[in-house]
Amino acid sequence: MDSDKEQLEQETLPLSLRPEWSDVKPIPQDDGPNPVVQIAYKQDFRETMDYFRAIYSAKELSPRALQLTREAILLNPGNYTIKTLKKGKCVSENGEAVMPKIFMNVWHFRRQILEALDANLPEELDFVGCIAKDNSKNYQIWHHRRWVAQKLGTSATSKELDFTRKILSLDAKNYHAWSHRQWVLQALGGWEDELDYCQQLLEEDIYNNSAWNQRYFVITRSPFLGGLEAMRDSEVSYTVEAIMANPDNESPWRYLRGLYKNNTESWINDPKVSSVCLKVLNAKSNHVFALSMLLDLLCHGFQPSQDFREAIDALTSDSAPIDSDLAKAICDVLQRVDMMRANYWIWRKSKLTPVA
């Protein structure tokens, strides 16, 4: 506790007043002779970056340099810039004297220091975790965390899965968190409980399309589930149940189609697929996605029973003529009930092959 207090007090003291930095000459930022829109940096940020430029140009991989990157990151977690040095010139291809540019990425330099010092990487994960709480969509933080986890190997698996779980509990659709979680599973393992995790998320919010996507990722990639073919039957049953509970939820409809990837014949011939379409159509509400899937089935060779014809007829307005071609009749209904994409359904109808 005392050490944390001492560190905080040390960080609030200007670098120019700290004895350990007395040998360093800071390098000011060079905005050129006539900056158009000069940024009004705060004094603490300006000073920190001036000292950072100095240690960066000197390639100093030391404990104090590591501490300085910490302070720079706390001031600006998205620290990524290219700046010129005031001193030194070089000659360009056309013979003009130009200022040399240095690539200054605080996170990148921090990784160089961590590696050089053989630093405590579990502590680094804790540091990144604290920064990520308020910056969970900063891609540099996630890139840095992946680097650290990769260095730690499988010993970091549990911690990384728990970390992404916490982030996703606050933002269920955080792309960076999902991407990192999928990387962890593939690179470090931890598949055993992932399907249960997806189940939990969908129980909390069946409309969570990210959880549906992760569920598909798990059943197709997990080394413990046997792959899509082995999981298809149980997953179709699960998805049909989800559709019947919420027919207006597009995610399970897309998931159902994905369960037959590269196997159109099975998709057309599985009675559970056409059956769920018919059940939703007979319910006469929230049937846009059921109509859309039925249209796709017909376009791929599905042979409908009279029950489907009757269900479509029941959805057609009394004043509108009923097309004898079931696929065209479906397009007519979709044009009317899905007005946002009316032009699309008109186009789909125009592309249908006439019935012989």
Give me the helix-helix angle, 250-258 and 209-221, nearest 10°.
20
Q: Are residues 15 and 103 both part of a single domain?
A: yes
**Model confidence, pTM:** 0.85
pLDDT, residue 354, reads: 67
CA quadruple 70, 75, 76, 82: dihedral sign: negative
- Tens of pLDDT along the chain (356 residues) come to 445 444 544 567 999 999 999 999 999 877 667 767 766 678 888 999 999 999 999 999 999 999 999 999 999 888 655 444 444 444 444 444 444 444 568 999 999 999 999 999 999 999 999 999 889 999 999 999 999 999 999 999 999 999 999 999 999 999 999 999 999 999 999 999 999 999 999 999 999 999 999 999 999 999 999 999 999 999 999 999 999 999 999 999 999 999 999 999 999 999 999 999 999 999 988 999 999 999 999 999 999 999 999 999 998 866 555 678 999 999 999 999 999 999 999 999 999 986 54
Final residue belonging to a domain, choices 119, 153, 168: 119
Domain shared by 9 and 37, yes or no = yes
In a domain, 235, yes or no: no
Q: Domain residues for 175?
A: 120-226
The CATH number of whichever domain residue 23 belongs to comes to 1.25.40.120
- Structural contact between residues 26 and 50, judged by C-beta atoms closer than 8 angstroms: yes
Q: Indicate the DSSP class of residue 102.
A: E
Nearest in space to 85 (alpha carbons), one of 30, 14, 154, 122: 30
Instruction: Based on the fold, state whether residues 14 and 106 are members of the same structural domain.
Output: yes
Residue carrying the six token digits 């846009």: 288
Task: Given the residues 42, 137, 261, 284, select the one marked as catalytic.
Answer: 137
Q: Domain for residue 349, yes or no?
A: yes
- The verdict on 74 and 17 lying in the same domain is yes
276 is a domain residue: yes
Q: Which of 297, 258, 301, 306 has its CA nearest to residue 276? A: 297
* Per-residue pLDDT at 317: 63
Six-digit token string for 44: 């603490």
Q: What is the pLDDT of residue 103?
A: 52
Quick one: 114 and 124 in the same domain? no
CB contact set of 3 (below 8 Å; sequence gap of 6+):
none
Domain co-membership, 41 together with 106 = yes
Token pair, residue 121, equals 């990487």
Active site residue 133: no
CATH number where 145 lies: 1.25.40
Residue 45 within any structural domain of the chain:
yes
Both 43 and 105 in one domain: the answer is yes
For residues 141 and 77, is the Cβ–Cβ distance under 8 A?
Answer: yes
Look up residue 261 and give its DSSP letter.
T
- Same-domain check for residues 152 and 218: yes
Q: What is the pLDDT of residue 104?
A: 62
* Chosen domain end from 60, 85, 119: 119
> 196 and 95, same structural domain?
no
Secondary structure letter of residue 353 according to DSSP: P
Co-location of 287 and 314 in the same domain: yes
In a domain, 237, yes or no: no
Do residues 36 and 85 share a domain?
A: yes
Given 3-state DSSP classes, what are the helix, strand and coil percentages for the chain, each rounded to the nearest 5? 65, 5, 30
- Cα distances (angstroms) measured from residue 298 to each of 218, 334, 353: 30, 15, 11
Which among 62, 97, 119 is the end of a domain?
A: 119
Number of domains in the chain: 3
The CA distance from 331 to 309, in Å, is 13
| 337: its two tokens | 């009930």
Distance (Å, whole) CA 101 – CA 86: 10
Considering the domain architecture, whether residues 87 and 188 belong to the same structural domain is answered as no
Q: How far apart are CA 128 and CA 140, in angstroms?
A: 10
Whole-number Å distance between alpha carbons of 313 and 304:
14
Residue 213 placed within a domain = yes
